[in-house]
């Protein structure tokens, strides 16, 4: 298969979309939800992805940063000193990504569901709530941490 401009565009926007396109899987053209999603301008769709990530930064990213620093999992040897900046080298990136993956798989007792869920699943649930809000089905009530 020869890559086209569409492949490169999808690679920049969303790798999942690229995979679906490359494998010949298209959206359901008869779905009302897909139609509503197409009405959102392309730039706003990208902005929504960034907005969703902002919701979870304090819960996931900030806590992981403090965890790896307090446990001394990230040390001076994990930084790139050539650039005179605070950038992780390859080994430091691996440590940090592993810590993020561990946090996403960590479970906690969800009060309203009455069962344990992972942070990865919590993100998915919040995205569903945002989608319902955008479609006018119900008002969005953000998840509040209680631990």
Number of domains in the chain: 1
* Enclosing domain of residue 101: 50-134
Domain CATH code at residue 95? 1.20.120.920
- Name the β-bridge partners of 117: 108
On whether residue 128 sits in a domain, the answer given is yes
Tens of pLDDT, residue by residue over 17-45, are 777 777 776 655 555 555 555 555 555 65
pLDDT in the model for residue 106? 92
On whether residue 44 sits in a domain, the answer given is no
pLDDT in the model for residue 95? 93
Nearest C-alpha neighbor of 142 from the set 20, 58, 65, 61:
58
Q: Which helix (H) or strand (E) holds 108?
A: strand 107-110
On whether residue 39 sits in a domain, the answer given is no
On whether residue 6 sits in a domain, the answer given is no
Q: Which helix (H) or strand (E) holds 115?
A: strand 115-118
On whether residue 93 sits in a domain, the answer given is yes
Tens of pLDDT, residue by residue over 74-98, are 888 888 877 666 788 889 899 999 9
Above 90 in pLDDT, residue 13? no
Q: Are 119 and 103 in contact (CB under 8 A)?
A: yes
pLDDT in the model for residue 73? 93
Q: Are 111 and 146 in contact (CB under 8 A)?
A: yes
On whether residue 11 sits in a domain, the answer given is no
On whether residue 145 sits in a domain, the answer given is no
Give the number of other CB atoms < 10 A from CB of residue 122.
Answer: 20
Block residue for tokens 């869920």:
117
Between 55 and 80, name the one with better pLDDT. Answer: 80
On whether residue 60 sits in a domain, the answer given is yes
Nearest C-alpha neighbor of 48 from the set 144, 126, 145, 146:
126
Rounded distance, CA 17 to CA 22, Å? 8
> Which range has the worst mean pLDDT, 65-74, 78-87, 102-111?
78-87
């Amino acid at each position: 298969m020869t890559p086209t401009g569409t492949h490169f565009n999808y690679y920049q926007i969303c790798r999942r979309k690229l995979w679906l396109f490359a494998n010949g899987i298209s959206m359901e053209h008869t779905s009302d939800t897909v139609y509503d999603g197409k009405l959102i301008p392309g730039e706003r769709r990208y902005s929504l992805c960034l907005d969703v990530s902002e919701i979870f930064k304090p819960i996931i990213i900030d806590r992981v940063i403090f965890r790896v620093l307090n446990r001394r999992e990230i040390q001076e040897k994990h930084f790139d000193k050539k650039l005179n900046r605070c950038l992780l080298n390859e080994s430091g990136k691996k440590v940090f990504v592993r810590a993020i993956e561990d946090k996403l798989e960590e479970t906690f007792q969800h009060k309203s569901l009455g069962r344990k869920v992972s942070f990865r699943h919590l993100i998915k649930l919040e995205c569903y709530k945002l989608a319902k809000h955008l479609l006018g089905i119900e008002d969005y009530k953000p998840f509040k941490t209680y631990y």
